[in-house]
Amino acid sequence: MIKNFSIGSSLLLIFTTVSYSQADRKLIREGNREYDKEKFSESEISYRKALDKNKESSVAVFNTGDALYKQKKFEDAGKQFLENHNMSEEKKKKSASLYNLGNSMLMADKLEESIEAYKGSLKLDPDNMETKYNLAYAQDMLKQQEQQQQQQQQDQDKQDQKQDKKEQPQDQNKDQDKDQNQDQQKQQQQQGISKEDAERLLNALANDEKSVQEKVKLAKAQKARVKVIRNW
């Protein structure tokens, strides 16, 4: 379970060290009351109004991030925490901003970015156990994600191999059919002519032979006639 930075303690810490104009302080307090009532959208509006009064208010920036986080607008919240980190000078404040940035990126499923934010927070506040816990959690999540991606890739590779094996026999069958046709043609060429062609040839020869015999008979008859009708 992710351990979120406590907005109450962060506000108490910052309020004791930063001075505000009366206008933006009133709006921040109003936003805090709305936040405590879980009216996070209304509290965001109050914090943004406070920023309109005082654009240098790091508290309003930080609290806007918290309100956005509660509305599950994690990437927008992360932008606020990063801005607060850049505005702040004290290590504790910068560490708190990076901690919340890490939480926001973790919830946005940007694990690598969340890990970097937690590491940055720990450099500024090495003894923070909650940061250490969340860092270990994010690293474990990233490891699981990489293992899942690797497993998915392996499954896809296996599926592709199975598909290749299914297609390969079809090609082999085509080659076998082609070889069989070639063998049959070779056998026919070696054997000479087909049965049908042989029958047609025999019939043709028989007809030719009959025709020749008739011609021979006709020639003999003509010779006989010549002899008979001999011109004296």
| Digit-coded pLDDT (tens) for 151-170 | 998 888 888 887 777 776 55
- pLDDT score at 141: 95
Q: Kindly state the tokens that stand for 151.
A: 């497993």
Residue 205 has a pLDDT of: 58
Q: Confirm whether 74 is domain-assigned.
A: yes
Q: Is the residue at 150 inside a domain?
A: no
Domain end (from 145, 168, 202): 145
**What is the pTM for the complete model shown?**
0.62
In a domain, 154, yes or no: no
Enumerate helices (H) and strands (E) in the chain, giving the number of each: 9, 0
Same domain assignment for residues 218 and 131: no
Tell me what pLDDT residue 206 has: 61
Of the candidate ranges 2-11, 72-81, 130-139, the one whose mean pLDDT is the lowest: 2-11
Choosing from 111, 145, 179, the residue where a domain stops is 145
Residue 107's pLDDT is what? 95
Closest CA to 101 of 127, 122, 75, 123: 75
Confidence at residue 169, expressed as pLDDT on a 0 to 100 scale? 59
Is the same domain home to 33 and 124?
yes
Model confidence band, residue 210 (pLDDT cutoffs 50, 70, 90): low
Does residue 95 share a domain with residue 201? no
